Amino acid sequence: MLWQTDTRAQRRLLIIGALIVAVLFLISLFMRSGTLALAQIALQGDAGLRALIFEQIRLPRALIALFVGATLGICGAAMQSLLRNPLATPGLVGSSSGAALGAVLLFYLGNGTVSWLAMPLAGTFGSLLAMAFVYALAGRDSSITTLILAGVAVNAVATSMLSLILNLAPSPYAVQEVVLWLLGSVANKSLNDFYLMLVPMTLGWLLLRGCGRSLNALTLGEDTAHTMGVNINRLRWRIFLAISLAIGAAVSTTGMIGFVGLVVPHLLRPLVGYEPARLLPLSALGGAAMLLAADIVVRLFPASVDIKIGVITSIVGAPFFLWLIIRTRRAHL
Amino acid sequence: MQPVAGQARRLWRRGLVLLSCWLCAGSAFAGTAPQRVVSMNLCTDQLLVLLADPEKILSVSYLSAEQHSSYVADTVLGRGYPLNHNLPEEIIPLKPDLVVTGMYLHQSETRLMREAGLRVETFPVFNRLADVKSNIRKMAQLLGESTRGEELIAAMDARQAALTQALPESGPRAVAYHARGYTQGRNTLLDELMTLAGFHNIARDFDIEGYGSIGLEALAGARADVMISSEYAPGTRSAGQYFLQHPVLKRLFPEQKQRIELQTRNLICGGPMNLDALQTLIEYRHALAD
């Protein structure tokens, strides 16, 4: 094999990553909310109420941040490895905006109480559709530039459709919820929301499992990978489907949270010797850590200031993105 | 060339404005009450419909025909008033001699219509029943119907006095909790109605002035007995409305009698309908005491 996987180093990295995630998860569960002086006093000595807050507010919030962060991280890594492009993200090829569009269509225009159960599925469907559309638009053997341009076009259509639907939705609250879908939020979710999200998300993760080796081969170029027995076309569709399932579930629960999928794989890639098979699981941990940390920062603001989590990830992510562009430009010169 | 032409045009326009102002001032000085009135705002719509002779109303805003928002929707639909969408180009051709609207909502439209020579009267926002009554008085005076206005206010006072007598002791702790966790604190109409009905408004403990929000965790610790909400558009869906189905709220207010639903149209604007909301609150007080 070309790649001599250093299993001990990888295990050490994964353990450190898992420890960081665990610490952040615990902080998220038990942190004091800044402005809750009154509630804190009232809570003293009421175990039932504490349990209620813990189970129905803190736990879903931390779990959703953990799982959505992991999904964004691993999908970003898979996308960058598949397209062999450092700027690729699940969002770039339309999957995030497609997922949000699917979920919004069902949620705001659907009627009846059953349909919100199907939200992750609608997200998945929208995500897959948008991604397939980008792929078809760019053509099978397209250059990366064409793919990116096709992604930009599909993203623009999907996000403007999303705004349009929220404008047309019968509910007067819908218009103001554009922010929620474009920036994302993990606040005020229930355990039910988490369970609903979990099913398609796990399916997506399982599909990504075992892609690592093929992705490793792909780093040597498509022809070489082909001679090594990798069916590129099948690999592509498998990853697209996996990302659609996982991102569809994530975005339909939290909205589009930007930059996690872009930044995390870049931060971690040097640590794993640029090897996709090792990058994927580590990016999951990195994404989870980043989103948990962002959610902790969100809650440091007073409760009356409703900062969306995507604002924090973008404030960290955008400068990084700039730096990345500058660095790649230097490398090409 | 260009500036001179522009200046001439401006002068000409100003002349027109002055001329039309003089014309409408003339009609006002003639001592006649406005005969052609247009309202552009849900709240002025309702006061107008309550106080003006039906034939003097030229148009009201489209919101006043919506059942969930407007107390006078049936009247508006029944009389078939043309509905406007707050657009000056709809209103100017009607040649009204009075346009009434809110003070803060349609500022640029108001300015445009004044420049076109219309008489536009704006009404301040209301936070308390006293403000509501002064708006009723203002509308009645503008329409030359002061007696009608005073009668309406007297009827409101009498109804308020009748409702608030013999209230059960020891008010329950209540929180106004609407879609997305919004609440009303001090200096809001709902706070005043809650206080009149003998509820203690939790939002006051959080020092919320006007509109604000209370997080679920904070609410869980605040020990409210009753949750008061008013759904602006029943039957529609959004993340904000879905939020009210959160399991924590179900656990905090498990019983039907712990939830009070007020009709939005009784709260969104000032008028006699505010006392319908007060009556609902007080009926719940009596029911809770039983």
Helix then strand count (H, E) for chain B reads 13, 11
Assigned domain for B1 exists = no
Asked if pLDDT for residue A328 goes beyond 90, the answer is no
Lowest mean per-residue pLDDT among B63-77, B160-174, B190-204, B270-284: B160-174
- How close, in Å, is residue B66 to chain A by CA atoms? 13
Scanning the structure block, which residue is given the tokens 């690592």?
A212
User: For B265-286, what is the mean pLDDT?
Assistant: 94
Lowest mean per-residue pLDDT among A17-26, A270-279, B8-17, B175-184: B8-17
Boundary of a domain, candidates B138, B158, B178: B158
pLDDT at A251: 95
> Which residues, in sequence order, are CB contacts of A3 under 8 Å at separation 6+?
A216, A275, A277
What tens digit of pLDDT does each residue of B224-262 get? 999 999 988 777 888 888 888 888 898 889 888 899 999
> Could you give the domains of chain A?
11-332 (1.10.3470.10)
Boundary of a domain, candidates B126, B158, B190: B158
Assigned domain for B20 exists = no
**B216–A177 CB contact, under 8 Å:** no
Please tell me which of the candidates A39, A173, A177 has its beta carbon nearest to residue B218: A39
Q: In the structure, what pLDDT confidence band is assigned to residue A38 with cuts at 50, 70 and 90?
A: very low
What's the one-letter identity of residue A148?
A: I
List Cα–Cα distances, B141 to A143, B48, B120, in angstroms.
Answer: 73, 11, 14
Cα–Cα distance for residue pair B154/A194, rounded to 1 Å:
55
- Which of A154 and B289 is assigned the larger pLDDT? A154
Asked if pLDDT for residue A74 goes beyond 70, the answer is yes
**B234: nearest CA partner in chain A:** A171
Does one domain contain both B199 and B135? no
pLDDT at A201: 95
Number of domains composing chain B: 2
pLDDT at A304: 65
- How close, in Å, is residue B95 to chain A by CA atoms? 32
Q: Cβ atoms within 10 A of the Cβ of B83, count?
A: 17
Instruction: Quickly list H helices, B129-253.
Output: 129-143, 146-164, 189-196, 202-205, 216-222, 239-242, 247-252
What tens digit of pLDDT does each residue of A306-323 get? 788 989 998 888 887 788
**B-chain residues within 8 Å CB-CB of A170?**
233, 235-237
What tens digit of pLDDT does each residue of A239-293 get? 989 999 999 999 999 999 988 998 899 889 888 888 899 999 999 999 999 999 9
Lowest mean per-residue pLDDT among A135-144, A232-241, A266-275, B126-135: A135-144
**B-chain residues within 8 Å CB-CB of A111?**
237
**B247–A192 CB contact, under 8 Å:** yes
- What proportion of chain B, given as a percentage, has pLDDT over 70? 89
Instruction: Say yes or no: ipTM exceeds 0.85.
Output: no
Q: Are strands B211-213 and B182-184 parallel, antiparallel or unpaired?
A: antiparallel
| CB contact residues (below 8 A), chain B span 198-237, against chain A | 205-206, 212-223, 232-233, 235-237
> Which residues, in sequence order, are CB contacts of A134 under 8 Å at separation 6+?
A93, A94, A147, A150, A151, A154
Torsion of CA A27, A30, A34, A36, to 10 degrees: 170
**B240–A177 CB contact, under 8 Å:** yes
Asked if pLDDT for residue B30 goes beyond 70, the answer is no
> Which residues, in sequence order, are CB contacts of B74 under 8 Å at separation 6+?
none
List Cα–Cα distances, A143 to A130, A138, A157, B230, in angstroms.
Answer: 18, 8, 22, 55
User: For A55-66, what is the mean pLDDT?
Assistant: 92
Asked if pLDDT for residue B19 goes beyond 60, the answer is no
Model pTM score: 0.82
**B233–A52 CB contact, under 8 Å:** no
Asked if pLDDT for residue A46 goes beyond 80, the answer is no
Does one domain contain both B152 and B174? no
- Nearest Cα residue to A162 out of A177, A150, A184: A177
State the residue range of the domain holding B213.
170-289
Does one domain contain both B135 and B77? yes
Does one domain contain both B65 and B129? yes
Does one domain contain both B57 and B93? yes
Please tell me which of the candidates A52, A108, A111 has its beta carbon nearest to residue B238: A108
**A188–B243 CB contact, under 8 Å:** yes
* Chain mean pLDDT for chain B: 87
pLDDT at A2: 43
Q: In the structure, what pLDDT confidence band is assigned to residue B28 with cuts at 50, 70 and 90?
A: very low
Q: Which two tokens stand for residue B118?
A: 């219309």
Cα–Cα distance for residue pair A285/A264, rounded to 1 Å:
9
Cα–Cα distance for residue pair B36/A333, rounded to 1 Å:
74
pLDDT at B270: 95
Lowest mean per-residue pLDDT among A96-100, A133-137, A264-268: A133-137
Asked if pLDDT for residue A34 goes beyond 80, the answer is no
Query: Which candidate in B213, B217, B243 is best for mutational testing of the A interface (most A CBs within 10 A)?
Result: B217
User: For B7-20, what is the mean pLDDT?
Assistant: 50
| CB contact residues (below 8 A), chain B span 169-198, against chain A | 179-181
Helix (H, G, I), strand (E, B) or coil at B259: strand
Boundary of a domain, candidates B101, B129, B158: B158
CATH (domain of B82): 3.40.50.1980
* Chain mean pLDDT for chain A: 85
**A53: nearest CA partner in chain B:** B217
